[in-house]
Amino acid sequence: MPYPSLEDLPSAVREYLPKHGQEIYKQAYNNAWEQYADRKDRESIAHRVAWSAVKKQYEKRDDRWVKL
């Protein structure tokens, strides 16, 4: 199901990504959720799309996500 706010994101997203990264994740996830509505595995696809979008602007260094 789509995420209405940043507070609704999974804890792995909220606790580790900076706010801007969370916004990217939420928008990408929600868009993918709509785009793949006809797929049974749309939730897993939406998560993969969201992480891919985040990784275009952030990279993980140790336990932190930092802007490229």
DSSP the chain: ---SSGGGS-HHHHHHS-HHHHHHHHHHHHHHHHHTTT-TTHHHHHHHHHHHHHHTTEEEETTEEEE-
Confidence of residue 22 (pLDDT cuts 50, 70, 90): very high
Dist. CA 21–CA 12, nearest whole Å: 12
What is the pLDDT, as a whole number, of residue 47? Answer: 97
Mean pLDDT score across all residues of the chain: 96
- Average pLDDT over every residue of 24-53: 97
Domains of the chain with bracketed CATH: 17-67 (1.10.1740.70)
- Average pLDDT over every residue of 15-26: 96
- Average pLDDT over every residue of 47-61: 97
What is the pLDDT, as a whole number, of residue 63? Answer: 84
Global pTM value: 0.94
Query: At 32, which amino acid appears?
Result: A
